[in-house]
Chains A and B, each alone.
Chain A
C-alpha cells in the first residue's frame, strides 16, 4: 500500500467532508443545537427543578454529559450514513472507487469526517449547556478519549448502515428504531440505580450506557458502571466494526456489481 498516497487521499476526503458539513450547516449544525437547547430548557430547567438532585448532582448538571454524548453519537452516525449513502446514490462514490486510494483510506476518511462533525456539534452543545449549568471536567483525558471512541463506534456503525442501504428510507431505520431508543435507555436522563434489578442488568447490555456513563465520569466523576469495562467495550466495538467495514468494502457489498 502506498502510504503517502493514502495519507493525501484521507486528508482530501476529510477536507471534502468538512466542506460538506459547513455547506449544509443549517442541516448539520443548527438542528442539534436547537434540539439540545430544548432538552436543557424542558428536562433540565422546567422538569429538573422538580426532580432536584440525581446522584448528588443538580439534575441539569447530571443530564448535561449525557446530552452532549447523545449529540456527538447521533451526529457522527448521521454524518457518515448520509454522506456515504449520498455518494453511493449520486454515484460520485465512483470517484473514490476508481482511484488508487485503499478501502481502509475510504473508511478512515469518512469516519474522521463523522467524528469531526460529532465533535463540532458536541462542542456547540457544551457551550449551550454552559448557559444553563456549571460543568467542571474532572478527568479531561478520559473525557476526550471516551468521546473520540464513542464517536468512532457510531461513525463506523453509520458506515455499515450506508453500505447496506438501498434507498433513503434505509438510512433512517436504524437511527429511529435502534439508536434513539438505546440512547434514551442508556442513562442519559437517569441513573440505572433507580431501576429494578432486572432492568439494571438489562441496561448493561446497552453499549450506549457505557459511553454515557464513562463520559459522565470524565466530567462529573460519577458513573453507574466500571470505566475499565467501558474502555474494553468501546475498543472492542471499534475493532469489530472497522473489520466489518473493511470486509464489506473488500467484498464490494452494496457498492460493486
Chain B
C-alpha cells in the first residue's frame, strides 16, 4: 500500500523540520502529499515557511529532519533523480542579469544534461511559448520585470520537469501578462506536469489550483481539495447593483442586508440558502438587480479567518 501511494505522489513530505542557525523554527514537522498531475496551492502569510519548504524540496536549503520524496525518489538517497524531476521558479530573481536571454535557458539545459540540437530546440520552444524568442539576444538586464519572470519559467521548463514549483511567479506582473501566464500554466498542467504554486494573489490560487494547503508559523493548518476548502466558507457576501435606488435596505428573511450606497445592496448569505432563494425574495419585492459580484475573494476570506483564528470557520448568519 505504501509503495502504491509513493508511486501516486509527485511529492511526499513527512515530518519536515527546519530550524535555522539563529534558532528560528521555520518548519515544525509538516506533512503533505501532492498527487501526480495536481495543481497544488501552498499558501501562507509572509514568513510562514513556504519558501523554506520549497528550498528544501529543491535542495537549496538543508533540512533539519524529515523525509522528502519526489516521484518516489528520496532526496537523501537519490538526489540526482529527484532533482531531474523538478523545475523551480524561485520567488526572488536569480538570473545573471548580464547574460543573454537565450544563453540563460540554453545553459540551464546543459546543466540537466541536454546538449546540441535538443538543447537548442527546447530553448527555442520555451522562449517562444513564453513570448521571449525575439529577445533571445538581449541581456537579461534589459527585460522588464514581467519578462524576467517569464524567463525564469522558460528556464525552469527547459528540461521538461514532471514537477514544476512556482514560488510567487506573478509577483509584480501586470494583469494582462498574469492572465496569459495563468493560461500557459493551465496548459502545461493539462499536459501532465504537476504544479505547486505559492502566491499572495488568492484569486490566482482559486482560479488555478485544485488542491490547497495553508501553512502558518511552520505548521500546515489546512490541506484539502480547493472545492472542499471553499465549502467551509459558510458565509458569502454579495454586492448587488439595483435598477432603482431604495431609501433603505429591504428586509429579506434568511439574509442580512445593508444598503452601502444608493443603488448598491450588500447581502450576506448562509449555506442554507441559494442565489435562487435570494432572487426569488428580491423578485417578490419588485426589486430589479442589474449586476452581482462577490464582495471579497472567497479563498482570501477563508485564508484570513484560518490564519487569524487557526481554526476552521463556522459561519453563522444572523437573520436581519
Q: Are A95 and B113 in contact (CB under 8 A)?
A: no
Q: Are A2 and B83 in contact (CB under 8 A)?
A: no
- Choose the segment among B6-14, B59-67, B175-183, B246-254 that binds chain A (4+ C-beta atoms closer than 8 Å): B59-67
Q: How many residues of B contact A (CB 8 A)?
A: 34
Interface centre among B60, B83, B109, B110 (most CB of A within 10 A): B110
Query: How far, in angstroms, from A1 to B84 measured CA to CA in the complex?
Result: 12
Query: A59-103: which have CB < 8 Å to B?
Result: 87, 90-92, 94-102
Q: Are B94 and A9 in contact (CB under 8 A)?
A: no
Q: Which residues of A contact B142 (CB under 8 A)?
A: none
The residue in chain A whose Cβ has the minimal distance to the Cβ of B86 is A98
Q: Which residues of B contact A87 (CB under 8 A)?
A: 96
Q: Are A16 and B103 in contact (CB under 8 A)?
A: yes
Q: Which residues of A contact B20 (CB under 8 A)?
A: 257
Asked if A243 is at the interface of the complex by the 8 Å CB criterion, the answer is no
Q: Are B107 and A94 in contact (CB under 8 A)?
A: no
Q: Are A9 and B88 in contact (CB under 8 A)?
A: no
Q: Are B55 and A99 in contact (CB under 8 A)?
A: no
Q: Determine how close the nearest CB of chain B comes to the CB of A68; give it in whole angstroms.
A: 30
Interface centre among B60, B88, B97, B98 (most CB of A within 10 A): B60
Q: Are B96 and A92 in contact (CB under 8 A)?
A: yes
Q: Determine how close the nearest CB of chain B comes to the CB of A40; give it in whole angstroms.
A: 33
Asked if A4 is at the interface of the complex by the 8 Å CB criterion, the answer is yes
Q: Are B94 and A90 in contact (CB under 8 A)?
A: yes
Q: Which residues of A contact B95 (CB under 8 A)?
A: 92
Contact of B58 among A2, A23, A98, A102 (CB under 8 A): A98
Query: How far, in angstroms, from A95 to B110 measured CA to CA in the complex?
Result: 11
With A9-B111, A91-B92 known to touch, is A97 a contact of B80 (CB < 8 Å)?
no
Query: B242-270: which have CB < 8 Å to A?
Result: none
Q: Determine how close the nearest CB of chain A comes to the CB of B140; give it in whole angstroms.
A: 10
Asked if B90 is at the interface of the complex by the 8 Å CB criterion, the answer is yes
Q: Which residues of A contact B107 (CB under 8 A)?
A: 12, 15-16, 95
Q: Which residues of A contact B61 (CB under 8 A)?
A: 256-257
Q: Are B83 and A99 in contact (CB under 8 A)?
A: yes
Q: Which residues of B contact A4 (CB under 8 A)?
A: 113
With A19-B103, A97-B60 known to touch, is A2 a contact of B94 (CB < 8 Å)?
no
A245-257 interface bits toward B, Cβ cutoff 8 Å, 1 = contact, 0 = none: 0000000100011
Q: Are B80 and A256 in contact (CB under 8 A)?
A: no
The residue in chain B whose Cβ has the minimal distance to the Cβ of A7 is B113
Asked if B229 is at the interface of the complex by the 8 Å CB criterion, the answer is no
Q: Are A95 and B62 in contact (CB under 8 A)?
A: no
Q: Which residues of A contact B88 (CB under 8 A)?
A: 94, 98
Query: B81-115: which have CB < 8 Å to A?
Result: 81, 83-84, 86, 88, 90, 92-99, 103, 107-115
Q: Determine how close the nearest CB of chain A comes to the CB of B89; give it in whole angstroms.
A: 10
Q: Which residues of B contact A97 (CB under 8 A)?
A: 59-60
A sample of 13 inter-chain contacts (CB < 8 A) reads: A8-B115, A9-B111, A9-B113, A12-B110, A98-B86, A100-B81, A100-B84, A102-B80, A256-B60, A256-B62, A257-B20, A257-B55, A257-B62
Which 3 residue pairs spanning A and B have beta carbons closest together?
A12-B110, A5-B113, A99-B111
